[in-house]
């Protein structure tokens, strides 16, 4: 176990080094004058002035030198200046991360909590109507991209039925209140802050705005999680120890929870972790569809307006998150498996 | 024996024998493929869907001919969607426009019919090169092992460290700034290709690790056959199965990913016949989707049915040829 974690930790800097190299490689494709345009708000007309910008930022230096300089800046948290955001990329991250985090947290809880239960249900009701229904659902849903579920949900629940709001994080009076001086912004996640500020009405409003984006992210992810939970659970239910437990009179519920699930959860936990990490890409699309002011919609906006500094900075940030997240999932999976933990 | 035959000749004979053997095996194999595609109802439904899309793609000039008076749009290049005016409200479905028009007055029906061709082109032109890159990397890493393996697999991990969509959006937008690559379909396709090959490399490496220890590989090596020839003739053909299944499952996901890029304006140019581009018209009209439902429903149906067809066919092939893997993870993780 220790050597496993040690190996992973030793590889971490190697992978991170590679990600910076790849990201910088993208930037290096541009000509010096194109890169100069990334550094100043408006590129001066005269060629001499452009030359000055290039010389000042050393954009004509050998690439390794430029890479090291860039890396030094990144290490200090300077990811460059976001043109489309009008502020440094690190500030963009600080301002918009809470919105994304709130969406991701609610989605993760919904995905894991409901997805696993659906899978266990399908396994228990194997080949009966419920199982068939869930199988059809998972086949269709696993082929649908996040943004499409979002659009269909928007069309149905916000457009046709008008049950839920069509976008944003709060309705405008509440948004004004939250941005105002009386509000204590503790985390930037409104569902938490509303509790701290004792405003159940704001909490409910935030939840209503979360419903559709969270559902868009969840429905597709359930399809995967449910499939793996089902097959893993079926395997465990067929084992002798479950039969023995049932034979000696253990109630079915307990046999399922204690005996089968304890053994079925290993692959499920790993996949649940990977599914949640998979949201890193999907969240961007869902945010853009629902006008959710998080990192994802900022990222797409930057991508569309060809603001390379911002897209690269956010990509590097997302990649770092993903690498660390993968490590956590791996270690957690290894820790849950006594065969690995005790070896 | 090799004394009078010569090593190369011996291998050639052995190769011919193995070719005959695989030709023999191919007969029931082909039948098994058909049984896989039509035998179980889900796979048969998937095959029907894909065949239907194929017919639409092939018959596009007859299903959606360039309408009279629209020659300046689709006369030369049929992939340019005819346009009836410039701005205003999307028009709902009518006799003239079966699926309505977008806000910019592009004909949705025409766009979807010709978009079927784009879907097939994009799906295959991204998946096949990604497969080739993955196979080359995976085979090299698995066969040679050691430092080559270490470097290649760490490279794979670096590419996998990026969330797929995030990386694709960044690359597509960066390539846009490139003078030659920035135009047309090339930028989004390269973006998806650059981050789409790693799964194949890993899968292939895993099977190469076991195949390279088989007797026939050792036999070839003992006869003095070069590494390149062993890899191409013996190792790769015998380790391709799982990679091919994964690729067939990925075609649908690739089309969806490409449509996603188009949806956000990073894919094909405005007015190009592409499902994601048609869906992008809905992106401009999010507040009034309740009224402009046709902007979402028709492109969404095309995308979902196409992806469903690919998944069902891929699943069917996998289940029929490799019953043990019936419970394995779905191959496509791209969402």
- Put simply, whether A26 touches B (Cβ < 8 Å) is yes
- Put simply, whether A24 touches B (Cβ < 8 Å) is no
- Helix or strand or coil: residue A211? helix
Q: Looking at residues B160-172, what average pLDDT do you find? A: 87
Q: Which residue of B has its CA nearest to A306?
A: B173
What is the CATH class of B2-333? mainly alpha
Diameter over CA atoms, chain A: 89
Question: What are the boundaries of each domain within chain B?
Answer: 2-333
Residue pLDDT, tens place only, A10-24: 888 888 888 888 888
From CA A175, how far away is CA A172, in angstroms rounded? 5
Q: Closest Cα of chain A to B144: distance in Å?
A: 21
- Helix or strand or coil: residue B66? coil
The answer to which of A99-103, B18-22, B258-262 has the lowest mean pLDDT is B18-22
Question: What are the boundaries of each domain within chain A?
Answer: 2-82, 93-342
Instruction: Out of B174, B264, B303, name the one closest to residue A304 (CB).
Output: B264
Q: Does A315 contact B170 at a Cβ distance shorter than 8 Å?
A: yes
From CA A324, how far away is CA A330, in angstroms rounded? 10
**Beta strands of A28-96 (E only): which ranges?**
81-82, 87-88
Residue A221 has pLDDT above 60, yes or no: yes
B137 confidence band (pLDDT: 50, 70, 90): very high
From CA B159, how far away is CA A311, in angstroms rounded? 16
Which has more pLDDT, A292 or B98? A292
The pair of structure tokens assigned to A230 is 């089902």
Phi, psi (deg, nearest 5) at residue A82: -85, 115
Mean pLDDT in chain B? 79
Q: Which residue of A has its CA nearest to B172?
A: A303
The neighbouring-strand residues paired with A107 are: none
- Put simply, whether A43 touches B (Cβ < 8 Å) is no
Look at residue B6 in the predicted model and tell me its pLDDT: 44
Residue pLDDT, tens place only, B270-318: 888 889 888 888 877 777 777 778 888 888 899 999 998 988 888 887 7
Residue B30 has pLDDT above 80, yes or no: no
Look at residue B116 in the predicted model and tell me its pLDDT: 92
Q: Does A311 contact B165 at a Cβ distance shorter than 8 Å?
A: no
Look at residue A43 in the predicted model and tell me its pLDDT: 64
From CA B213, how far away is CA B126, in angstroms rounded? 32
Which has more pLDDT, A289 or B82? A289
Residue pLDDT, tens place only, A152-209: 888 888 777 878 887 788 787 877 777 778 777 778 788 888 788 878 888 888 888 8
Q: Report the run of H or E that residue A88 belongs to, with start and end.
A: strand A87-88
Rounded CA Rg of chain A: 24
B200 confidence band (pLDDT: 50, 70, 90): very high
**Beta strands of A14-97 (E only): which ranges?**
81-82, 87-88
Q: Looking at residues A227-241, what average pLDDT do you find? A: 84
Phi, psi (deg, nearest 5) at residue B81: -75, 135
Look at residue A284 in the predicted model and tell me its pLDDT: 87
The pair of structure tokens assigned to B316 is 């069917």
A125 confidence band (pLDDT: 50, 70, 90): confident
Look at residue A71 in the predicted model and tell me its pLDDT: 85
- B186, B179 in Cβ contact below 8 A? no
Q: Give me the architecture of the A93-342 domain, per CATH.
A: Orthogonal Bundle (1.10)
- Helix or strand or coil: residue A120? helix
Q: Does B330 contact A155 at a Cβ distance shorter than 8 Å?
A: no
> Whose CA is closest to B197, among B267, B129, B141, B120?
B129
The neighbouring-strand residues paired with B101 are: B107
Residue B12 has pLDDT above 70, yes or no: no
């Amino acid at each position: 176990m220790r050597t496993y974690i040690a190996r992973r930790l030793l590889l971490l800097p190697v992978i991170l080094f590679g990600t910076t190299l790849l990201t910088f490689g993208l930037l290096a494709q541009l000509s010096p004058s194109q890169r100069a345009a990334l550094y100043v708000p408006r590129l001066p007309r005269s060629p001499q002035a452009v030359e000055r910008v290039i010389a000042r930022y050393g954009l004509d230096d050998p690439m390794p030198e430029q890479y090291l300089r860039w890396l030094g800046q990144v290490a200090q948290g300077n990811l460059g200046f976001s043109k489309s955001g009008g502020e440094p990329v690190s500030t963009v991250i600080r301002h918009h991360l809470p919105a994304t985090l709130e969406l991701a947290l609610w989605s993760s809880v919904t995905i894991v909590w409901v997805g696993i239960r659906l899978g266990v249900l399908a396994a228990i009701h194997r080949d009966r109507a419920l199982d068939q229904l869930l199988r059809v659902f998972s086949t269709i849903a696993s082929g649908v991209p996040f943004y499409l579920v979002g659009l269909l949900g928007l069309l149905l629940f916000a457009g046709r039925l008008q049950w839920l709001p069509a976008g944003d994080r709060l309705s405008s009076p509440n948004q004004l209140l939250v941005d105002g001086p009386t509000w204590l912004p503790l985390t930037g996640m409104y569902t938490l802050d509303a509790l701290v500020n004792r405003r159940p009405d704001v909490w409910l409003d935030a939840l209503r705005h979360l419903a559709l984006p969270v559902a868009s992210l969840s429905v597709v992810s359930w399809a995967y999680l449910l499939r793996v939970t089902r097959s893993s659970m079926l395997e465990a239910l067929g084992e002798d120890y479950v039969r023995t437990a049932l034979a000696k009179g253990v109630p079915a519920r307990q046999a399922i929870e204690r005996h089968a699930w304890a053994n079925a959860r290993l692959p499920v936990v790993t996949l649940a972790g990977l599914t949640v990490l998979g949201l890193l890409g999907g969240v961007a699309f869902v945010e853009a569809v629902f006008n959710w002011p998080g990192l994802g919609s900022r990222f797409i906006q930057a991508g569309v307006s060809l603001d390379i500094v911002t897209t690269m900075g956010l990509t590097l940030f997302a990649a770092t998150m993903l690498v660390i997240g993968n490590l956590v999932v791996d270690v957690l999976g290894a820790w849950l498996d006594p065969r690995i933990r005790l070896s | 024996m090799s004394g009078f035959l010569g090593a190369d000749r011996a291998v050639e004979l052995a190769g011919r024998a193995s070719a005959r053997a695989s030709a023999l095996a191919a007969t029931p194999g082909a039948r098994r493929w058909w049984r896989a595609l039509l035998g179980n109802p889900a796979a048969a439904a998937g095959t029907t869907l894909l065949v239907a899309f194929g017919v639409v793609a092939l018959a596009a000039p007859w299903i959606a001919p360039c309408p009279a008076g629209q020659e300046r749009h689709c006369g030369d290049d049929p992939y340019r969607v005819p346009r009836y005016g410039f701005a205003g409200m999307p028009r709902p479905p009518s006799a003239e426009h079966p699926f309505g028009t977008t806000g910019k007055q592009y004909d949705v029906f025409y766009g979807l019919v010709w978009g079927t061709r784009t879907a097939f082109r994009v799906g295959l032109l991204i998946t096949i090169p990604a497969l080739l890159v993955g196979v080359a990397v995976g085979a090299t890493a698995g066969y040679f092992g050691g430092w080559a393996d270490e470097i290649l697999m760490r490279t794979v991990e670096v590419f996998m460290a990026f969330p797929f969509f995030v990386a694709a959006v960044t690359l597509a937008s960066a390539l846009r700034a490139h003078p030659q690559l920035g135009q047309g379909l090339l930028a989004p396709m390269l973006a998806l290709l650059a981050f789409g090959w790693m799964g194949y490399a890993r899968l292939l490496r895993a099977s190469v690790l076991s195949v390279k220890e088989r007797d026939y590989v050792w036999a070839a090596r003992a006869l003095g056959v070069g590494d390149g020839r062993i890899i191409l003739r013996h190792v790769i053909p015998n380790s391709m199965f799982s990679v091919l299944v994964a690729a067939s499952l990925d075609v649908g996901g690739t089309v969806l990913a490409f449509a996603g890029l188009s949806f956000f304006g990073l894919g094909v140019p405005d007015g190009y016949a592409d499902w994601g581009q048609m869906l992008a018209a809905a992106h401009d009209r999010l507040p009034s989707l309740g009224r402009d439902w046709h902007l979402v429903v028709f492109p969404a149906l095309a995308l979902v049915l196409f992806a469903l067809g690919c998944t069902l066919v891929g699943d069917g092939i996998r289940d029929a040829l490799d019953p043990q893997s019936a419970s394995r993870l779905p191959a496509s993780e791209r969402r």
